[in-house]
Structure 1
Amino acid sequence: MLRFANSASCWLPNNPLRGVARGAQLLLVTLGLTATSLAQTAPTVVSVADSRTLAFNLVSRGQPTPARAIANTLLERNPNDIKALLVLSRAERLLGDLPAAKQAGKRAWRAADAPEDRYTAAMLTAQAISSSGNKIGAQIWLRRAAQVAPNDQLKATAVRDLRYVRGTSPVALSFDLSVAPSSNINNGSKSDTIEVFGLPFALSGDLQALSGVEYSLGATLSYKLPAVGTWTLTAGANVESKHYTLSSSAKAIAPTVSGSDYAFQQLQVSLAANRTDADRKASTSLYVKAGQNWYGGSTLTRFAGVGAARQYQIGERSSLQVNLGAERQWRQDNAQRSADVVTLSSTWGHGLTNGSAIWVTGFVRDTASESSSIAQETAGASLNYSHGKPIFADTKLELSIGYENKRFDRAQFPFVRREDQTVSASATMIFSNLDYMGFAPTAELSAKRTSSTLGQYSNDDLGLKLGLRSTF
């Protein structure tokens, strides 16, 4: 008869050689002398700590069957034995029983208190889930492991494994969540009156700038398809939803409207192909897309488009990307506002020696439409800067400035052709020290001013956007 003696000894996964001599003796007692044990009148007493150590040594040496037997015996004594559950999870995975390995890992996670045990439980559960083919589930558990890691080295291991699993998974899922108070959620005029032929005209409340809060939620799902020759194929779907609430002052200005009148949703599906040159210094991307969006609860636009991009690696620190896209937009509210849009853009990026980086983007866009309020030519540029070192604590800083010019093709009022000039700037802080499971809160302060030859289109917007960003 085998019986455990009480022991306060601590067993740790990173100490595999502890008690090897006594463990070898215990193995003989447990596995080799069963008949002798049954014949004895007095029970054989062994240490719980020695049993745990032996079980770990066995599974580490590729002997999962006896390790599982010892772990199950320990669990009969105490169903919440953390060390036994950890050994059992690893042993079951080596034996190919992935559901049992996952179950043991989750039991260990629920029962664990020490950071080391929670970390090991999360890693073992992630391994079992990944081996079963659920790569997204494995990524969630690896994020948990990174969150509870007792030191930076173990956290780096979890992050490394997360990136590996993500790279081998055909499925990728990402989210974008933000809350953004704004002084102008409806892109309304900064003035309550306009002047036409020298005469003042009052603007209705819904045409004036209305303050409020924007709530935005987006999700992107992509799936890697089988390659065709040297081309990799990816199918994707993206959904975006924006909802608004008006401030009390906005409700006073425009009592007949509500935040739901400005709600916006969009659904898009796409298929992309990518090929890297043999020298790996450049690559080509092609895509097709189609989708629909809604505004104020009604269908606004259906669209379809194609595009191509060429990326170049320039030296060790710089890159250049050139994009060309064409899109057809079918307006559902007014067919005359349907449009054909062609866009050409280019982005140059450069990494600085201190870890900082800059991006410069320029673009031109031609929009052809029967509607004088839609047909236009647009040109713009932006400069983005990411500071390499934290500005304080572990908080990172990103800065952006931009300029855009819109020239409409035809006059919307007699003898007046509309032209808008917009300048914008933003500063974003990423609070990495508040990271949770690889997601850090962000705060973006932005300002935008548009000056138009038609006064009702001149507006200002000052906003604060609070969101989340993945840190790995």
Structure 2
Amino acid sequence: MRAVPFMTGRLAVGALATMLAFFGGLTPNYPLAGTAMAREVSGEAIRLDINEARKLAAIMLRDGQSGDARTLALGLLKRDPRDVDALLILAQSEFRLGNLDQAVRAGRRAFAAARTDAARYQAAHVTAAALNLDGAHTRSQIWLRRAAQHAPDDGSRQQVRRDFRSVAAANPLEFSLNFGLRPSSNVNNGSQHDTEQLGGLTRVLDGSEKALSGLEYSLDADLRYRLSESKRRRFWVGASALGLGYALSDEAKTIAPNARAQDFSYLKAGVNLGADLRDASGRGETLFQFSLAQVWSGGHRTTHSAEVSATRRHLISPTAQLQLRASAENRWNPKRPIEDSVILTLSGSWQKRLVSGAQLGLELGVSDSDSDSYRTASKAVFAGASLSLAKPVLGAATNLWARMQMRDFDLPFLVFDAREDTRISIGTTLFFRDLDYYGFAPTLDIGYSRSRSNIGAYDGRSFGVGVGVRSVF
């Protein structure tokens, strides 16, 4: 049986193409309890087999006779409660009649009973449509992911992606989750040297200060809830968390036998409040955000922070966008107040879509950290460039990037010269969009960084290859 059409605002599937001659009623040759649609023609009852009854129900649905289609589908289900075609017709009939709860139940039953991708796709899609119309946008998005997984062709898959974006735009709740695994030659940002020179003196570095190889695993979650939205204004609250954990290699355990992987763990969790203001022209917007966060390092609570930021985005041409961002952050450590700091940052970025279809991005910024500690009082300049290629590489969307940061510390390192660092990083990210599973696809990150410092403990390098998961929607 072909797909029966359903519509819900922006959700739609293809219409049924099968055409049958119209006739007024039937008395099936199998039990159809609850149906009262038989009539006599020339004193004889019209009788249909099961397939003809299914086709008739589909035609009734197509012609707007949703109530009759529902009645016939219920009759078919009396005979076989797992009749997938009847369940699909029932789900779409209930949807068109406005019985959204019943449509969801029928859609779920159809999905559970289906044995083909085409049937599962139709069941998941109509269930998502009913949930969306009922205001259950998040559950609708989950069912759209199921529909995408069982989409019978690329056109259906693209339709689901468009539907997902439409539902996401209507959903006041936004949620993103990224997970990654990254083997690295330097999980602790340690030194590549065994010793360092301080004012003509040589100091042997502790094992935990040296570069330690191992596996990094990360989890990045972001949740936002839209409080209100108009054509030009949007206000929201949110929460976010970033966690990094490590497993040390056998070599690292030999270099630093007293080091534990949890000594290098990192967790930052916070709450956010934001306002997005759009220009009347539609060419720009201004974003304000206030954040409170807490950091745990090595399993111990360390730093509290409060940050306020303002971001201005403006389309300077149909293919180019300029962004300016300013932020002020106050960090304080109740156990080590000397390390309290106020960080001011100003940055600008430019993005342009090239004639080839590739997208080029450039960034430049400065920051100033005011503190009484030689570890944090510093000034920095940073720059970056990225290029998203127009054509896939090895079947993956490819982004190339490079970053540089020069950071000069204000206070002497202990009693010696002030610390001066330069860090250069390059890498690429491959996104295998076509290998998606329920709307999630793998990523491959390859990166190399080199840190140069006049203090040997901070002079090091790192190479890592990581895999992750990202939503295709």
- TM-score, length of structure 1 as denominator length: 0.92
| Aligned match of 2:287 | 285
Letter in 2 for 1:76: K
Contact 2:26 2:48 in 1 (8 A): no
Task: Deviation per CA, 1:332-383: give whole Å up to 9, x if none.
Answer: 3411101000000111000012221011011100000010111000111000
Alignment of 1:139-218 (within 5 A): 139-218=141-220
| Aligned match of 1:471 | 472
Rounded Cα–Cα distance in structure 2 between residues aligned with 1:194 and 1:224? 52
Asked if 1:309 corresponds to 2:308, the answer is no
- Give the 3 Å change call, closer, same or farther, for CA 229–178 of structure 1 in structure 2: closer
Rounded Cα–Cα distance in structure 2 between residues aligned with 1:15 and 1:312? 42
* Offset, 1:230: 4.3
Among candidates 80, 100, 104, match of residue 102 of structure 1 = 104
Instruction: Could you tell me which runs of 5 or more consecutive residues in structure 1 were left unpaired when the two chains were aligned.
Output: 1-9
| Aligned match of 1:6 | none
Task: Deviation per CA, 1:182-207: give whole Å up to 9, x if none.
Answer: 11111111111112333322111111
Asked if 1:403 corresponds to 2:404, the answer is yes
- Give the 3 Å change call, closer, same or farther, for CA 231–298 of structure 1 in structure 2: same
Rounded Cα–Cα distance in structure 1 between residues aligned with 2:340 and 2:128? 49
Among candidates 369, 372, 375, match of residue 373 of structure 1 = 375
Contact 2:19 2:59 in 1 (8 A): no
Contact 2:236 2:273 in 1 (8 A): yes
- Please state whether the residue corresponding to 2:412 is helix, strand or coil: coil
Contact 1:145 1:158 in 2 (8 A): yes
- Please state whether the residue corresponding to 1:121 is helix, strand or coil: helix
Rounded Cα–Cα distance in structure 1 between residues aligned with 2:3 and 2:221? 40
Task: Deviation per CA, 1:261-287: give whole Å up to 9, x if none.
Answer: 111111111111111111112211111
Rounded Cα–Cα distance in structure 2 between residues aligned with 1:370 and 1:431? 47
* Offset, 1:163: 0.6
Task: Deviation per CA, 1:37-75: give whole Å up to 9, x if none.
Answer: 9xx9x9863121221122122223333221111001111
Rounded Cα–Cα distance in structure 2 between residues aligned with 1:206 and 1:243? 16
Rounded Cα–Cα distance in structure 2 between residues aligned with 1:45 and 1:468? 55
Rounded Cα–Cα distance in structure 1 between residues aligned with 2:328 and 2:168? 31
Contact 1:357 1:385 in 2 (8 A): yes
- Please state whether the residue corresponding to 1:122 is helix, strand or coil: helix
| Aligned match of 1:458 | 459
* Offset, 1:15: 7.2
Moved more, 432-441 or 270-279: 432-441
Rounded Cα–Cα distance in structure 2 between residues aligned with 1:390 and 1:129? 35
Moved more, 51-60 or 247-256: 51-60
| Aligned match of 1:423 | 424
| Aligned match of 1:322 | 324
Asked if 1:46 corresponds to 2:67, the answer is no
| Aligned match of 1:250 | 252
Letter in 2 for 1:410: L
* Offset, 1:434: 1.4
Task: Deviation per CA, 1:5-43: give whole Å up to 9, x if none.
Answer: xxxxx565467463522x524458864546x69xx9x98
Contact 1:236 1:270 in 2 (8 A): yes
Contact 1:292 1:303 in 2 (8 A): yes
Rounded Cα–Cα distance in structure 2 between residues aligned with 1:241 and 1:138? 29
* Offset, 1:178: 0.3
- Please state whether the residue corresponding to 2:422 is helix, strand or coil: strand
| Aligned match of 1:24 | 23
| Aligned match of 1:3 | none
Rounded Cα–Cα distance in structure 2 between residues aligned with 1:188 and 1:436? 37
* Offset, 1:385: 0.6
Rounded Cα–Cα distance in structure 1 between residues aligned with 2:17 and 2:308? 61
Rounded Cα–Cα distance in structure 1 between residues aligned with 2:163 and 2:15? 22
Letter in 1 for 2:72: I
- Give the 3 Å change call, closer, same or farther, for CA 17–148 of structure 1 in structure 2: closer
Letter in 1 for 2:275: A
Letter in 2 for 1:412: F
| Aligned match of 2:333 | 331
Rounded Cα–Cα distance in structure 1 between residues aligned with 2:66 and 2:234? 39
- Give the 3 Å change call, closer, same or farther, for CA 433–46 of structure 1 in structure 2: same
- Please state whether the residue corresponding to 1:165 is helix, strand or coil: helix
- Please state whether the residue corresponding to 1:45 is helix, strand or coil: coil
- Please state whether the residue corresponding to 1:24 is helix, strand or coil: coil
Among candidates 69, 76, 79, match of residue 77 of structure 1 = 79
* Offset, 1:229: 9.2
Task: Deviation per CA, 1:149-193: give whole Å up to 9, x if none.
Answer: 111111111111111000111111110100011111111111111
Contact 1:11 1:83 in 2 (8 A): no
| Aligned match of 2:10 | none
Rounded Cα–Cα distance in structure 2 between residues aligned with 1:364 and 1:373? 18
Letter in 2 for 1:18: T
Contact 1:301 1:331 in 2 (8 A): yes
- Please state whether the residue corresponding to 1:188 is helix, strand or coil: coil
Relative to its length, the structure with more helix (as a share) is: 1
- TM-score, length of structure 2 as denominator length: 0.92
Rounded Cα–Cα distance in structure 1 between residues aligned with 2:101 and 2:179? 33
Among candidates 114, 139, 152, match of residue 116 of structure 2 = 114
Percent same amino acid at aligned positions? 34
Asked if 1:442 corresponds to 2:447, the answer is no
Task: Deviation per CA, 1:88-146: give whole Å up to 9, x if none.
Answer: 11112223332221111111112112222111111011112212221111111112212
Task: Deviation per CA, 1:372-431: give whole Å up to 9, x if none.
Answer: 111000111000110011123x21211111110000001113341110011110111112
- Give the 3 Å change call, closer, same or farther, for CA 443–382 of structure 1 in structure 2: same
Rounded Cα–Cα distance in structure 2 between residues aligned with 1:110 and 1:70? 21
- Give the 3 Å change call, closer, same or farther, for CA 228–101 of structure 1 in structure 2: closer
Among candidates 126, 133, 136, match of residue 134 of structure 1 = 136
